Amino acid sequence: MDNTEYSEEKEKSILSNNEDKVVSDMDSEGNEESVDGTSEEVTESEESSEEESIEEEEPKLKYKRLEADVGELLKKDTASAMAVSDKYVALGTHNGDLFILDFDGNLIKRFSSHSATVNDISIDVAEEYVASASMDGKVVIHGMYIDSERVFNYRRPVQCVALDPDFSRKDSQQFVSGGLAGQLILNEKGWFGQKQDRVLQHSGEGPIYAARWNGNLIAYANDEGVKMYDTQSQQRITYIKRPPGSPRPDLYRCNLCWRSDNQLLIGWANYVQIAIVKEQTVSGLPPLYAEISMLQTDFIVCGIAPFNDMTLLLAYLSDEITKNEMMDDPEQYKRPRAKRPELRIIDSFNEEISTDALPLHGFQYCQANDYVLDYYPSEDMFYVVSPKDLVLAKPRDLDDHIGWLLDRYRYEEALSNLKEAQAWGGSKVYDLTEVGEKYLGYLVDEEEFAKAAENCPKIIKDSKKLWERWVFRFAELKHLQEITPYIPFQDPDPQLSSTAYEMVLAHFLNNDHQALCDTIMKWPPTIYNISSVTVLVEDILEKDPDNKILMECLAELYAYNHEPDKALEYNLRLRRPNVFDLIRDYDLFSAVQDKVVLLMDFDQHLISEKQKQLENEENKEQDSVKKIEPIGKSRPKKETEMPAVRLLVENTESIPIAHVVSQLKSHPQYLHTYLDALFNKDHHKGYEFHDDQVELYAEYDYPRLIDFLRSSNYYDFEKAYKICEQRDLVPEMVFVLGRMGNNKQALMLIIERLGEVQLAIDFVNEQDDDILWEDLLTYSLDKPRFITGLLENLGGTRLDPISLIKRIPNGLEIPELKKALIKVLQDYNLQASLREGCQKILVSDSVSMADQLIRAQKRGVSCGEDMGCSICSSPIIKEANTENIEKYVIFFCRHAYHEECLFDADTILPLPENINKLSSINGVGPKVRRTVILRAMTPSPQCPICNDSQHNHSILNKKTLNTSTGPIRGFVRGQNRQSVKDDDGMPPMVPLRLEI
């Protein structure tokens, strides 16, 4: 569109004529009027019912024209494309400029990389790169934070461009573009940063009008319709045809917008389509497919965007001109006059929610393709651009919304919105506290005290004066129990006067002891006078000495008042588990040093209470008619996990171990529990009592005795053996004997007392003693069961099965001997099979490597001008002389020689004198025959340098080869490999011979 169509006079006249209409179109009730100010005629009944239905519907959007720098820019140029990100707005113009603006229209950057209209703009997710496509056939990618500009010239007008969302994070830096050439091209970085183009859509289906990239999916449009391409599977997954009867595709721009990772919005001409991408369940088809829903509109869709769970459409409308072919009126052939564009919101049921007409400059002269809609998703800000204007549409602000709610007495919604708005500054008109107090007064008048108390923290917040006012008001109404849970009592909340808190406690002391206890535990002691409250509670307790709730209150109050001795007394009377926290918090370890037995009794009390609870649960399950397996059934704690034991174990510095042991000597089970917990925490603590622990474990926890014997290094072996011997604990006796070094006696115990062959074998294996093996074998020769066990378990032993079988006495009947021998043979066959397999693998690898070596040696040798003779150091390659032909020999080790330097004159036959004529007539025949002569020499020629292991270069002065050694086989990577044919059957390698 030409700039001449937009003069300043037209802009002023258009704005003055239409801004008032916009206000009337978007009134506070959401009512709509036609552009010319007239409304449709309806009956009175229909009008009244419509007003009632619309009365409760709040308008959705409000609008703002961006002035700042963009206003001045569009006076000199016209906008053609736009893209919005979370940080800035990119605006393209018909002059080929790309402007980067903030959300208020201020200019941040300017790029002038095009010579024609900018058709499309794309921004990556990281917002580090901006790509623009232009009619000049170029795609330019600009770096926002680095000085980078990459230009791609496609020599045909480019209609669209889409960056990979992760363009800045991937090394490939992919993007797609398309235009009048009809091809959708995927560009990416290849090796060494080279540009690589891949055609995703070939020409033949018309120009590419639009492309949008989201995740792994690329959506693009051409004459046939909209298609999707999956970059992960590299397949086209769906094809959305243009609806039948739709206008020509080149008349109206196709608008594509991704609502989410799997939902695409399509607005083209007068149709809206929604494509939902799903995973394919049918094999043999692309992994994804799309389900399509369609809506036909009575307007042209200029833009489409998601609005919460609804859809926002930018509608283009024009006046209808009635054509009469019988009349020759030139006015009827003029282009229809365009109406103001409209933003329409439709819900998921395709029902229109609201319609707003936009006051854009010069809308009468614009066509549908002159408008662009894009949005800022995180803020629900929608930008509409025309050639000469940029308008921001966003939801109505808080003040508008709050005022609308208060007019309808919807205080709860108003307060909720006011509270939410505090995060970004709150309302400029309404005060949360003032509105809230009116609401609280309304609730109290309606006797909804619980609801009023619940809303006090939201409304009063940190106002001390207001809190005290409402607390006293609730006290007057005798409803303190409702407001107490919400009274502030700790930082950063405001602290009320002590009188207010004491009034609440006195109220509960007279009416609800449990509420008093809960409140004392909840409130910090600094907000009220502890002594005053304690005196009141003690007076009531004297009248009711068995009141456990008041005892709990006094225990807490004494603890708050730094009188731990008195608090400990009440805690012990109540047998409260927090007595241990009290001891830790106030460092009362010295007070409980002589009360270890009492603390352990406390643990037993807790265990018995837990056991009773579990028994009651089991009884309830048994009494129920239908038994259901309990989920997450609790189990009683171990004695070592009980609080008293943990207290003693964790504070050994304050409560010495020896002091605890001396008190628990008369309670051996308590002593075992304590020492066991101490050993579990640290094997080295209390090591002087490990001898006692052996006996304690044997008496009270035998299954863990062997673990203790294995873990501890501080007990006396002889004492431990005697304890085990007194109780006839054979496995433990075997272990102790093993640690004492008496392996033979231990083995005899296993054989004679336990009679377990496998255990005996494991013990001997662990000791790794040949004498023990001999003892075990000697003992087993007259015991068939032991012989069978040895034969069946030879796999991991050092015994030779043949020697074992030979030593079996003749005539000895051995049960299951056949089965044992079969197992021995199977184990042997398995080992033989494994060795054979390994040998085959080794042979196969050797042959493969030999073939690789031969292929490497047969490669050609590159000869350059810098290659010299290893003997005379003269260049190998000289200018060809037809009279005197030079002859050269090059070995596979890359050493080169002149033939006369390498051989004696009589060693090989000379070339024919007419070699040049023969070469020109018969090709390379004479040279080949010469090579055959060299290969037929006995012994084969070899490199003097590589054949001399000591690098004795004096041999090079002789012009004959030392042929006493074997032939040179070849060289791989400079390594000399010599062998003879008898070694591996490989023929000897011969040198190359070149002649120029």
Whether 35 and 340 have beta carbons less than 8 Å apart is answered as yes
Strand pairing class (217-222; 225-230) = antiparallel
Q: Please, which residues have CB within 8 angstroms of residue 384's CB and are 6 or more apart in sequence?
A: 303, 314, 341, 343, 358, 360, 371, 372, 373, 390, 391, 393
d(CA 892, CA 988): 12
Q: Which amino acid is at 281?
A: T
Lowest mean pLDDT among 149-163, 288-302, 586-600: 586-600
* Ranges 4-13, 87-96, 193-202, 806-815: which has the least confidence: 4-13
Give dist(CA 804, CA 778) in Å, integer: 10
Q: In the predicted model, what is the mean pLDDT of residues 958-981?
A: 36
- Given this model, what pLDDT does residue 217 score? 95
- Please say if the pLDDT value at position 341 is more than 90: yes
Q: Within 376-431, where are the H helices? A: 398-407, 411-421
pLDDT reported for residue 687: 87
Band of residue 923 on the pLDDT scale cut at 50, 70, 90: low
Q: Which pLDDT score is estimated for 6?
A: 34
Q: Hey, what are 790's tokens?
A: 């040895």
Question: What pLDDT was estimated at residue 277?
Answer: 93
Residue 155 φ/ψ region, left for φ over 0, alpha for ψ in the -120 to 50 degree band, beta for the rest: left
Rounded CA gap, 399 and 418, in Å? 9
Average pLDDT over residues 352-356: 89
| CB burial readout 182-194, b (16+ within 10 A) else e | bbbbbbbeeeeee
What angle (nearest 5°) sits at the alpha carbon of residue 878, between those of residues 874 and 881?
Answer: 125
Give the long-range contacts of residues 859-868, CB within 8 A, separation 24 or more. Answer: 861/890, 861/892, 861/894, 861/992, 863/890, 863/896, 863/994, 867/896, 868/896
Whether 949 has a pLDDT exceeding 60, the answer reads no
Token representation of residue 79: 């906008």
Q: Which residue has the tokens 């040179």?
A: 968
For residues 288 and 237, is the Cβ–Cβ distance under 8 A?
Answer: yes
CA distance linking residue 127 with residue 820, whole number of Å: 75
The radius of gyration computed from the CA coordinates of the chain, to the nearest angstrom, equals 49
Task: Report the CATH superfamily, name and number, of domain 58-204.
Answer: YVTN repeat-like/Quinoprotein amine dehydrogenase (2.130.10.10)
Domain extents in the chain: 58-204, 638-819, 866-877+885-913
Given this model, what pLDDT does residue 438 score?
85
pLDDT the model gives residue 954: 44
Confidence (pLDDT) at 50: 45
Residue 881 predicted with pLDDT over 90? no
pLDDT band at 970 (very low <50, low <70, confident <90, very high): very low
In the predicted structure, residue 964 carries a pLDDT above the cut 70: no
Q: Could you give the angle at which helices 717-726 and 690-700 cross, rounded to 10 degrees?
A: 20
The pLDDT of residue 582 is 76
What is the pLDDT of the chain when averaged over all its residues?
79
Among candidates 564, 559, 496, which has minimal Cα distance to 528? Answer: 496
Q: How confident is the model at residue 419 (pLDDT cuts 50, 70, 90)?
A: confident
Q: Is 926 helix (H, G, I), strand (E, B) or coil?
A: helix
- Token pair, residue 677, equals 């917990």
**pLDDT by residue (tens digit) across 692-717?**
988 898 888 888 888 888 888 888 88
514-547 pLDDT, tens per residue? 999 999 999 999 889 999 999 999 898 888 888 8
Name beta bridge partners: 971.
976
| Least confident window among 304-318, 412-426, 565-579 | 565-579
**Please, are residues 98 and 91 in contact by the beta-carbon 8 Å criterion?**
yes
- pLDDT tens for 439-480 read 888 889 889 999 999 888 878 888 889 999 999 989 888 888
Question: CB of 709 within 8 A of CB of 696?
Answer: no
For 956-978, the DSSP string reads GGSSS---SSPPEEEEETTEEEE
Which comes out higher in pLDDT, residue 502 or 937?
A: 502
pLDDT band at 956 (very low <50, low <70, confident <90, very high): very low
Residue keyed to tokens 């005697």: 722
- Report the pLDDT value the prediction gives residue 84, as an integer from 0 to 100: 95
Q: Which amino acid is at 822?
A: I
**pLDDT over 50 at 982, yes or no:** no
Average pLDDT over residues 153-182: 93
Residue 867 pLDDT grade (very low, low, confident, very high; cuts 50, 70, 90): confident
Q: Is the pLDDT of residue 726 over 70?
A: yes
**Please, are residues 662 and 641 in contact by the beta-carbon 8 Å criterion?**
no
Q: Is the pLDDT of residue 955 over 60?
A: no
Which helix (H) or strand (E) element contains residue 700? helix 690-700
Question: Could you give the C-alpha distances from 26 to 2, 103, 159, 305, in angstroms and in order?
Answer: 31, 23, 35, 20
The order of strands in the sheet holding 89-93 is 79-84, 89-93, 97-101, 107-112
Which pLDDT does position 992 carry in this prediction?
A: 42
* Least confident window among 7-21, 107-121, 583-597, 628-642: 7-21
Q: Please tell me the predicted confidence (pLDDT) of residue 842.
A: 93
Q: Read out DSSP for 32-82?
A: ---TTS------HHHHHHHHHHHHTPPP-EEEEE--HHHHHHHHHS-EEEE
* Structure-model confidence comparison of residues 13 and 238, the more confident one: 238
pLDDT band at 901 (very low <50, low <70, confident <90, very high): confident
Residues 6+ apart with CB under 8 A from 879: none
What per-residue confidence (pLDDT) applies to 287?
Answer: 87
Q: Scanning the structure block, which residue is given the tokens 């829903």? A: 293
Residue type, 533: V
Find which of 196-200, 219-223, 860-864, 883-887 is predicted with most confidence, using mean pLDDT.
219-223
pLDDT at 289 over 80: yes
Name which of 316, 389, 401 is nearest 61 in CA terms: 401
What 3-state class would DSSP assign to 889? strand
pLDDT band at residue 644 using 50, 70 and 90 as cut-offs: confident
Q: pLDDT tens across 425-436, in order?
A: 788 888 888 888
Q: Would you put residue 299 in left (φ > 0), alpha (ψ -120 to 50) or beta?
A: beta
pLDDT of residue 995: 39
- Alpha-carbon distance 16 to 910, whole Å? 109
Q: Are strands 158-163 and 254-260 parallel, antiparallel or unpaired?
A: unpaired
Q: Residue 669: is its pLDDT beyond 50? A: yes
pLDDT at 963 over 50: no
Residue 732 has pLDDT above 70, yes or no: yes
- Cα dihedral 942, 945, 946, 948 sign: positive
Can you tell me the mean pLDDT for 319-323? Answer: 53
Contact 109, 122 (CB under 8 A): no
**218-222, 244-248, 339-343, range with the lowest pLDDT:** 244-248
What is the pLDDT, as a whole number, of residue 781? 66
* Top-confidence residue, 87 or 740: 87
SS3 call for 214: strand
* CA separation for the pair 75, 81 (Å, rounded): 16
Structure tokens at 35: 């552009």
Length of the chain: 996
For the residues of 839-862, what is the DSSP string, one character each? Answer: HHHHHHHHHHHHHHHHHHHTS---
On the question of pLDDT at 391 being above 90, the answer is: yes
Name, in order, each residue with C-beta under 8 angstroms of 285's C-beta and a sequence gap of 6 or more.
none
Tens-digit pLDDT profile for residues 840-857:
999 999 999 988 888 877
Q: pLDDT value at position 855?
A: 83
